[in-house]
């Protein structure tokens, strides 16, 4: 291997020649490898800044390898950072609320009583009621699903609702 005449690339002219020679191809490689979302052109600029900061340690023979390694590592760090950001966005809200313990307890008790009343309804009333209130189906759609007329469906839903109101004080108008 021939000996280099220059030990480092701190000369502005030599550095600008390196930039002209490698910047575009490095930018293209990063673009092809990682896409445009992570700003490959910025990473190329940052890699050249690092090269300038460490110009005394980098020989002209190793400059290309140094640039490509630094730029690739910066892109990999950005990928990792984006994964952390995505994971943080997917974090579920905390399990606490501003509701008092008494309210939470009353809510749980009501839910138990509501489910008990629902389970005591006739099957066709319960099915029609739940299709209407939980699934948001129209009376016509429920009638088609259950194979009955729209009028029968309406009667079943209202009968179920009246039984719920009779047995759950919280549903009665005051």
pLDDT at residue 93, rounded to an integer: 62
Q: What is the pLDDT of residue 92?
A: 64
* 19 pLDDT more than 80: yes
Rounded Cα–Cα distance for residues 47 and 160 (Å): 70
Domain boundary among 66, 89, 112: 89
Q: Which of 55-59, 127-131, 140-144, 170-174 has the lowest mean pLDDT?
A: 170-174
Is 2 part of a structural domain of the chain?
A: no
What's the rounded mean pLDDT across residues 57-67?
A: 89
Residues 108 and 155 both lie in one domain: yes
Query: What residues make up the domain containing 110?
Result: 101-169
Average pLDDT over residues 26-32: 86
Q: In this model, does residue 3 exceed pLDDT 50?
A: no
Compare 51 and 85 and report the one with higher pLDDT: 51
Whether 20 and 51 share a structural domain: yes
Among 63, 89, 115, the domain boundary falls at 89
- pLDDT (0 to 100) of residue 119: 86
Compute CA 126 distance to the chain's CA centroid, rounded to the nearest angstrom.
37
Once rounded to an integer, what is the mean pLDDT over residues 33-60? 88
CA nearest to 128, candidates 149, 142, 117, 118: 142
Q: How many domains does the chain have?
A: 2
pLDDT tens across 86-131, in order?
Answer: 877 776 666 666 778 888 888 899 889 888 888 888 888 988 998 8
Q: Which of 135, 129, 134, 102 minimizes the C-alpha distance to 117?
A: 129
């Amino acid at each position: 291997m021939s000996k280099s005449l220059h030990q480092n690339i701190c000369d502005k002219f030599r550095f600008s020649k390196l930039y002209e020679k490698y910047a575009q191809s490095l930018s293209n490689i990063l673009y092809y490898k990682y896409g445009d979302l992570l700003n490959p052109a910025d990473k190329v600029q940052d890699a050249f800044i690092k090269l300038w900061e460490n110009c005394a340690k980098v020989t002209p023979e190793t400059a290309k390898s140094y640039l490509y390694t630094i730029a690739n590592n910066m892109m990999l760090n950005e990928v990792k950072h984006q994964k952390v950001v995505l994971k943080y966005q997917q974090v579920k809200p905390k399990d606490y609320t501003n509701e008092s313990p008494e309210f939470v307890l009353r809510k749980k008790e009501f839910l138990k009583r509501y489910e008990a009343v629902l389970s005591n309804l006739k099957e066709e009333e319960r099915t029609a009621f739940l299709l209407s209130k939980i699934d948001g189906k129209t009376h016509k759609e429920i009638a088609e699903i259950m194979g009955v007329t729209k009028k029968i469906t309406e009667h079943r839903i209202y009968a179920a609702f009246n039984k719920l109101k009779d047995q759950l004080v919280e549903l009665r108008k005051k």
